[in-house]
A and B are shown apart, each in its own frame.
Chain A
Amino acid sequence: MTHPSEEQLIAYRYGDVSETHERAAIERHLATCDGCRTSYQALQRVLAAVEAAPVPERDASYGSRVWQRIGPQLDQRERLDWRAWLVPRRWVAVGAMAALVFAAFLAGRFWPRPTQQESAGPIPVQVRERILLVAVGDHLDHAQMVLAELVNAGATETLTKGGVDISFEQQRAQDLVEANRLYRQTAARTGDSTLANVLDELERVLVEIAHSPAQLSSAQLNEIQQRIEARGILFKVRVIGSDVRQRGKSAGQIAPRGSS
């Protein structure tokens, strides 16, 4: 045979030359051609050097240490895993919660203010305030999960010939759009423009995700990921979510200031 190409030699090295006769031909050639044999031996030495490159040792207890680090996070992630929210039973609870919050808004047209006076409604102001903030906080958590999933998608998602399947994310985004609209309108109505603005931006992204094809090519996925990152929406949701949680805590612990 003629001298095998570098590509053929590499394939031969890894046993990727499937045809028996081709493999035999390369073997015979290497036995007789000094130049090709030298070249092949050099390739072998390079690969052996790569193989021999040192890697830091990890002892037998390493796995336990990894577990100690990730164990607590598993609990947290399990709680936050929005996929679990796709279970219908939970959606009933979500709907009920949203309705309760909405009712609280309509009844009191209330958004927490530190100087707000106790209302005469059936639900005490602090309790209503707290329910509301917890619900918005949860909503922001769920939205954050969807965005984070999408930003990290393509790595461990099932890659099919058609690309990346984001149907779960899409479904979840669709479900979040309605609740988001409710919270956004209420926040705008009660004058909380910071929250209303973030929710407005979030809604645009959620709508965009909900209207994307379920099966994305890597390029399409990349485009969505870049748009999410360019807007910094994940960061904004995180910050406002943390703020809302803090306000929720304060509402649950501190009596409204300035009440008379």
Chain B
Amino acid sequence: MDGSDAERVAQALAGDRDAFRVLVERHSRSIFLLAYRMTGNEHDAEEVVQETFLKAYRRLSRFESRSNFGTWLYRIGVNCALDLMRKRRPEAERRDSDTPEGSEAVRELPSPDPAPDRLLLSAELGRQVAKALGALSPTERAAFLLRHFEGQSIEEIGRALGLRTSATKNSVFRAVQKLRRALEPFVQVKPNVAASRAPSPNQ
């Protein structure tokens, strides 16, 4: 698995299919993570991962070697996820009213031997987080995830989503505001329950 991403891209463009395989193997997990956070369920996330690499392959000649391949791929991934979410939005809205999308995933997650009360709290909080993320518009969700989890700048996010700087800032703001309204009641510091797991501010 030697060779930088840029070298692999150049090899793939020259017809070396194996070079693209290396890129797929290298970036699949991070794209899955992004896709899962965007879509909120594993099935859709898998679909987004595949579509992302298929599109990347077909558009490889448009990749500029001075750019970061991971960032470029992320941009494709975000947009593939946005497409899927927009397509499924009416369905998601219906589901949203009863079962949150992420609940299945929360149940499936391995828990490192948690205390029973903490498990309950985590599962409930996980459901609420999934529900709150699901209530964001696709653009708000994408802008928030790129800002929060990927640490991308407002300008980078704007380029990825085709938004102006002010609209991008606004999307991040609205997303955080909505998350806060939805989740604050669940993360209030209460003695003996939440205090032990509520993280202290890091800034």
A and B together in one complex: yes
Q: Which residues of B contact A50 (CB under 8 A)?
A: 129, 132-133, 148, 179, 183
A53 touching B54 in the complex, CB below 8 Å, given contacts A42-B187, A62-B28, A62-B32: no
Closest Cβ of chain B: how far from A155's Cβ, in Å? 4
| Count of chain B residues with a beta carbon within 8 Å of a chain A beta carbon | 68
A77–B33 CB distance below 8 A: no
Among residues of B, the one whose C-beta sits closest to the C-beta of A83 is: B58
Question: Taking each of A11, A64, A159, which has the highest tally of chain B beta carbons within 10 Å of its own beta carbon?
Answer: A159
B169 within 8 A of A: yes
B88 within 8 A of A: no
Q: Which residues of A contact B200 (CB under 8 A)?
A: 44
A47 touching B148 in the complex, CB below 8 Å, given contacts A10-B172, A10-B177: yes
> Which secondary structure dominates chain A's binding surface?
helix
Chain A 68-94 near chain B by CB (<8 Å), digits 1 or 0:
011101100110010100000000000
B8 within 8 A of A: no
A66 touching B147 in the complex, CB below 8 Å, given contacts A43-B176, A46-B179, A81-B58: no
B3 within 8 A of A: no
B26 within 8 A of A: yes
> Which residue of B37, B76, B186 is within 8 Å of A49 (Cβ)?
B186
Q: Which residues of B contact A66 (CB under 8 A)?
A: 24-25, 28, 49-50, 53
Q: Which residues of A contact B (CB under 8 A)?
A: 6-7, 10-11, 13-14, 16, 40-58, 62-64, 66-67, 69-71, 73-74, 77-78, 81, 83, 152, 154-156, 158-159, 164, 218
